[in-house]
Chain A
Amino acid sequence: MSATAETITAPQIAEIIDLVKKIYGFDFGSYTKASLKRRITRIMQLKKLQFYDLRHILVNDNAFFQQFLEEITVNVTEMFRDPSFYKEFNNQVIPYLASYQHSKIWCAGCSSGEEAYSLAILMEQAGLRKKSFIYGTDINTECLKEARKGIYSLRKIKSYAENYQLAGLEGSITDHFTILYDAATIHSELKQNILFSVHNLVSDNVFNEFQLISCRNVFIYFEISLQDRILDLFYNSLAPLGFLCLGAKETIRTDRFKKKFKVINQKENIYQKIGS
């Protein structure tokens, strides 16, 4: 990204947010501004648009909005990102899930599915796959299509080999894929217990009760007020003593929620629902 090109101003960003909300119903008002500014500036540079062009095209071209949405929402993800998290998850959360007849898992903000499938592999290795169901949700329908396919480039999957190994898992990551030329397809049995569907954390509500919610590297794009709204949603979506996993750099900050979530692992931001 070029730093020399003109960037968008704060009032202009507010105008774009307002426009998108009115026309498309997506509310980016409580997204963190530094990141949003960087994303919008990037779109303007990629598409060679001035602010006025961007405004015009957003109003008049519905197809453009899908591209806009893809650029605005960061969809960079990895399998087994932060291997130490998966290691601790295996130690501290899996035994709890194993104690249930059946457990439901919500992977919120799942993007193209890599994290949901990482969890599926963990459950499989723990012998819990058939006793669990994973719901992967995102606001981005294009990403969800990718997630449902479960087909990734072999190069990408190989780049996760180190994560996989550091997470302390058995065998190698490619054991879970069928490889044909440069395409790695996740094994079909791993897809049996996963459903990917649209859910907007900003505006949608509780849709099921879960033993575990994983929402990693999503809160970093939200202001604290929105984080709190979503923590409420998660709290109400969790079964008693259900687990919440946030990203490595995301912590629960407000006192209200510190009372509602017990810290299970400070470093990896693993929490457990307490109180009522």
Chain B
Amino acid sequence: MALDDNIIQRWQNTDLLLLGGSAGSFKPIYNLIKIFPADLNKTVIVVIHRKKNFFSEIEKLFAESSRMLMREISDKDLLNNNTIYIAPANYHTLIEKDKSFSLDVSDAVWYSKPSIDVTFESVSEIYKERCTAVLFSGANPDGAEGLLKLRKNGALTIVQDPNDAEIREMPQAAIDMNAAEYILKTKDIFELFQT
């Protein structure tokens, strides 16, 4: 699937970019973060599954390599433009109507906290079509339902081509639910975000 005018235009009209993934997603997301300019003119939220008590490594690596501002999420923080946020370990990250973060320590979803589904669902109702979401490699189906909800609310939903993903279950689950408007090769995802 090549990039068409529709996808490019919808990406450009996006206020919020969501990047979700689990096992095998760190590398493509990390490489993406590196290419974003400081003035991307969007907010970026990254939800990657990880173990509790080992939260600082991803933040550190991202902060060192990113030209965009990186902020740790504190409860009730307002979402800022040109800023990357990483969902903290051992919490679910939700978004309120006033575009502030709201954290939650309730049960794991698909054994995961942060859960991609929880953040995606929550964003879908607030940002509607002003949002682009990408689901990357992973070994469980978290994120698929959330992506479907985003799609139903008008967001641009993309999955990494399972053949391109290190572990195909997560993007495949989204495709099976018809949650993905576009299935893109990793290189096309990079190309899109540079338009």
Contact = CB atoms under 8 A, between A and B. Distances in A.
Interface of A: 1-4, 32-35, 38-39, 74, 76-77, 81-83, 162-163, 166, 217, 219-221, 224, 247-251, 253
Contacts of B95: 34
A82 B55 CA distance: 11
A4 B152 CA distance: 10
A251 B149 CA distance: 31
A39 B104 CA distance: 11
Contacts of B102: 32, 34-35, 220
Q: Which 10 A-B pairs rank lowest in CB-CB distance, beginning with the nearest?
A: A3-B145, A34-B94, A3-B149, A74-B106, A220-B103, A220-B75, A32-B102, A34-B102, A249-B75, A35-B104
A250 B75 CA distance: 6
Q: Is the interface of A mostly helix, strand, loop or mixed?
A: loop
A32 B90 CA distance: 19
Interface string B104-133: 111101000000011011100000000000
B61 to A, nearest CB: 19
B146 interface: yes
B76 A253 contact: yes
B189 interface: no
Nearest to A81: B90
Contacts of A163: 53
A32 B100 CA distance: 11
A39 B73 CA distance: 22
Contacts of B120: 3
A220 B145 contact: no
B103 A33 contact: no
Contacts of B21: none
A4 B104 contact: no
A225 to B, nearest CB: 11
B104 A251 contact: no
Contacts of A2: 145
Interface of B: 53, 73-76, 88, 90-91, 94-97, 102-107, 109, 117-118, 120-122, 145-146, 148-149
B94 A251 contact: no
Contacts of B88: 248-249
Nearest to B113: A76
A34 B122 CA distance: 7
Contacts of A74: 104-106
A9 to B, nearest CB: 10
B75 A3 contact: no
Contacts of B118: 38
Contacts of A4: 145, 148-149
Contacts of A221: 104
B117 A1 contact: yes
Contacts of A38: 94, 104, 106, 118, 121-122
Contacts of A219: 75
B76 A83 contact: no
A249 B74 contact: yes
A3 B121 contact: yes
5 contacts: A33-B97, A39-B106, A217-B105, A249-B75, A251-B74
Contacts of A82: 90
A249 B93 CA distance: 11
B86 to A, nearest CB: 12
A34 B97 CA distance: 8
Nearest to A224: B76
A248 to B, nearest CB: 8
Nearest to B94: A34
A34 B76 contact: no
Contacts of A166: 53
B108 to A, nearest CB: 9
A3 B146 contact: yes
A76 B97 CA distance: 25
Residue of B73, B90, B94, B103 most packed against chain A (CB within 10 A): B103
A15 B150 CA distance: 26
B151 to A, nearest CB: 11
Contacts of B121: 3, 38
A92 B122 CA distance: 38
Contacts of A77: 105
A218 to B, nearest CB: 10
